[in-house]
Structure 1
Amino acid sequence: MRHDEMIGKVQALARLPDRGTAERAAHAVVTTLSERLPSGLARHVAAQLPPDMADAMRQAADAAAVSGAPDTGAHGSGASGERFGLTAFAGRIADRAGTDEDTAIREAAAVLEVLDAALAPELTERMAGALPADIRELLPVERANEGGEAGR
């Protein structure tokens, strides 16, 4: 999916007033998501995104890996990502996007829906499995149910 198409979908789904707001929301969500996911998985997600969104995701994944997060070992995906739930997820997105937490949750759900459509199904399943249940609830219904308990 192309960048313009992704931003347009985020704008429509989150009912945002303009593309600039949608752009800020998308970058805030992918950056925060990248901090939460294992860095190897975040890099795999980034590889399927348009260049500027991919860059934001890779930078956050690289920063998380350098910060000394423990290695996941058997899964070979590098640093395990920070452990935080929905409240911190929404707070970080709100800070980055310059909005409140309720709006950040709505924006996150829109961005995650667009990512679900843009990424290979097996990658979105891995992403869902790496998230805790409260964040996973922001995913489209069928994906949220497939995530299992891997992200506890």
Structure 2
Amino acid sequence: MRHDEMIGKVQALAQLPDRGSAERATHAVLRTLGERLPAGLAGHLAAQLTPELAAPVRAATASAAADGRPSGIGERFGLPVFAGRIAGRAGTDEDAALREAAAVLEVLDAALAPELMTKVGEELPSDIRELLPSGRSTEDTGGTGDNGPG
């Protein structure tokens, strides 16, 4: 899926007023998702995105490496921290951040390989996994994603 198409779909799904808002929301969600996922999985995610959308995911993994965090695990945080980070980055409140995250995840689900989205879902704690499209959020992924602090 092309960059403009993905941003347009996020704008429509999240009912955002303009493309700039959709771009900010998408980048905020992808950066935060990149922080939550192990570096290898985040790299696979970035590889299936356009360069513009891969950049925030790669920035998250680069930041983790610079901070000396192990690459095999992502940061452990739950929905409150996830929503707070997205809200701060997108310049919105947490309720809007959750709507925007759900929209971005739905667009990603349509754009990326199903196997990759299954792996992403497996790494997310159940509270964040609820933001995935209904078919994925109800799957019993048996994943390792824990809620952790937050």
Please classify the TM superposition score into its range, dividing by the shorter chain length.
Answer: over 0.9
Question: Could you tell me whether the CA contact under 8 Å between 2:48 and 2:112 is conserved in 1?
Answer: yes
Are the aligned partners of 1:25 and 1:93 in contact in 2 as well (CA < 8 Å)? yes
- Quick one: which amino acid aligns to residue 63 of structure 1? S
**1:120 — aligned with what?**
113
1:112 corresponds to which letter in structure 2?
L
CA shift, 1:67, in A, is 2.0
In the alignment, what sits opposite 1:32? 32
SS of the equivalent of 1:44 reads helix
2:49 aligned counterpart, secondary structure: coil
Is it true that 1:93 corresponds to 2:86 in the alignment?
Answer: yes
CA RMSD after TM alignment? 1.0
Amino acid at match of 2:77: F
Distance 1:149 1:45 in 2: 17
Which of 105, 108, 120 is the equivalent residue of 2:101?
Answer: 108
Deviation (angstroms), 1:137: 0.2
Residue in 2 aligned with 1:73?
Answer: none
Measured after TM superposition, the shift of residue 148 of structure 1 is: 2.8
Is 1:148 aligned with 2:142? yes
For 1:19, the equivalent position in structure 2 comes to 19
Question: Match of 1:81, SS?
Answer: coil
CA shift digits 1:56-96 (9 cap, x unpaired)? 111111211332323xxxxxxx3301000000000000000
4+ long deviations beyond 6 Å: none
CA distance in 2, matches of 1:113, 1:39: 22
SS of 1:95 mapped into structure 2 = helix
**Equivalent pair of 1:10/1:111 in contact (CA under 8 Å):** yes
One-letter code aligned to 1:108: A
Q: What's the counterpart of residue 84 of structure 1?
A: 77
Q: Which amino acid in 2 is paired with 1:133?
A: S
SS in 1 for 2:138: helix
The residue that corresponds to 2:122 in the other structure is 129
Runs of 5+ consecutive residues of structure 1 not aligned to the other structure: 71-77
Structure 2 partner of 1:5:
5
Aligned-pair CA distance for 1:27 = 0.2
- Quick check: 1:65–1:79 contact (8 Å CA) kept in 2? no
Q: Is the 8 A contact 2:3 2:50 kept in 1?
A: yes
